[in-house]
Structure 1
C-alpha cells in the first residue's frame, strides 16, 4: 500500500529561478513535511480506532535524498508494514475460520480479566511483563483460572465457551454480557459465565480512511510547495 505525491512541474520551474541550492532545500523540506504529516494522520487514525500501537507504528515513511542532503527532485514514500490488516480495516473484510474450526471472540467478562491479551515473555527484555494484543483469545488461561469451559451451542450457528458458576466460598464472579449483542444470549435453562463467543466468520468494519487521508495530503502538499516557492522568490 503506497501513497505518492504529484510534483507540479510548473512549481519546479519557478523554484529554479532561485539558486539551485536554495531551491533544492525548499522543495526537499516541503516534500519531507508533507510525507511526515501524512504518516502522522494515518497513525492518528489507527490510534483513534483503538487498533493498538503495533498497527499504528506499522505506518512508516522514507525520504530521498537521505540525511541532510537536498535535491530539486526529492521523493518520499509512506508505506505500511501491515498491508493486509490496514487494508481490512480500511475497506472492511470478512474473516472466515479454517474448515472445522472457530474464531474465538472474547466477551466483556473475559476482556475485564485480560484474557484478550498475552503477556510478553520476561526473557524478551524491554517489554517484560507488558500486555500486548493477541490474535486469539486466552481460553487456556480462562480454563486454568475457572476450570474447564463448557461448549454451549446458541443460535445462528454460533456457540459460547462458558465457565461454571463459582462454588460458595470461592468468591463471586460478576456475570456480564455485551448488551448490544442479543445474538449471544445464554439458552434458557443454562447457567454459567459466558466468556467467549465462537463463530465461523465475522465481519471487520471499515474503521479507517487511508485514501481520504492521502488525497488530503496531496492537496496540502501542492499548497505547501507553492507557498514555499513563493517565499523563496520574495526573499531572493
Structure 2
C-alpha cells in the first residue's frame, strides 16, 4: 500500500504541476494578446488623427519576464518612443518658441520647399530661408487690427508664386511665414480610453486562455 500511496501522490503532484504551468501560460497568453491589442489600437489612433505612420510606429509593447520564466504576474507595458509628441497631442498642450525672440514661424504654402535630405514635402524654415536668401529677403510686420499677437513675414520681391525660387519678372509680394507666440495643439489622441478598454477586456482574455490551456492538458 505504501508504494501505491506514493504513486498516487506522485501522479497528483504531476497533475498539479501541469495545471499550474497551464494557468501560468494562460495568464501570459492573455497578457500578450492584450499588449498586442493595445499597441494596435494606439497605432490606429495616431494614423486616424492624421499624424502619420512614422509616429504610429513609435508605439512599442513587450511582456515581461521572458517566455521561459513561469509567473502568474506577467507585465505588459506599452510605451511610445516619442513620448513628448504623444503627450502634447493627448493633452492639447501649447507649443512655445525656445528662441530668444519668442516667436514661432509657421511656413505658408508659398514658402520654398526645404533643401534638406529626407524631409520631403516640408517647407523651408524661416531661419534656413534667411540663411539662403539673405537677412533682407523678408519684411516682418504686424497686420492691421491684430496687435502684436501675430506677425507676417513677406518676401516683397524676387519670388514667383508656387515656385519657391527667385524670379525677377512679374514678381509680387508673397506671405512666406506667419509668426505667433504660441500654438495650441488639438487633442486628437486619447491614451486613457485605450487603457480603460484593455482593463475591461483583461478578465475575458486571460480566463479564456486559462480554460483553453487546462482543456488541452486533459
- Alignment match, 2:161: 173
Residue 102 of structure 1 and its aligned partner are, at CA, apart by 0.4
Partner SS state of residue 108, structure 1? coil
Partner SS state of residue 161, structure 2? coil
Partner SS state of residue 211, structure 1? helix
Q: Which has the higher strand share?
A: 1
Contact 2:49-2:188 at 8 Å conserved across structures = yes
Residue 90 of structure 1 and its aligned partner are, at CA, apart by 0.5
- Alignment match, 1:103: 104
5+ residue gaps, structure 1, are 1-15, 120-128, 176-190
5+ residue gaps, structure 2, are 1-15, 164-171
Q: What pairs with 1:64-79 in structure 2 (closer than 5 Å)?
A: 64-79=64-79
Contact 1:104-1:137 at 8 Å conserved across structures = no
Residue 54 of structure 1 and its aligned partner are, at CA, apart by 4.8
User: Can you list the C-alpha shifts for 1:103-161, whole angstroms capped at 9, x where unaligned?
Assistant: 11122223xx434xx73xxxxxxxxx422798x96124444369812213222421112
Q: What pairs with 1:21-170 in structure 2 (closer than 5 Å)?
A: 21-98=21-98, 100-110=101-111, 113-115=112-114, 119=116, 129-131=117-119, 138-143=125-130, 144=132, 148-154=137-143, 155-156=146-147, 157-166=149-158
Contact 1:109-1:194 at 8 Å conserved across structures = yes
Contact 1:105-1:137 at 8 Å conserved across structures = no
- Alignment match, 1:225: 206
Partner SS state of residue 63, structure 2? strand
Residue 19 of structure 1 and its aligned partner are, at CA, apart by 1.6
Partner SS state of residue 105, structure 2? strand
Q: TM-score, normalised by structure 2?
A: 0.71
How many residue pairs are counted as aligned between the two chains? Answer: 188
Contact 1:18-1:232 at 8 Å conserved across structures = no
Separation (CA, whole Å) in 1 of partners of 2:129 and 2:88: 29
Q: TM-score, normalised by structure 1?
A: 0.66
User: Can you list the C-alpha shifts for 1:63-108, whole angstroms capped at 9, x where unaligned?
Assistant: 2122554432211111233333222211111223356320111222
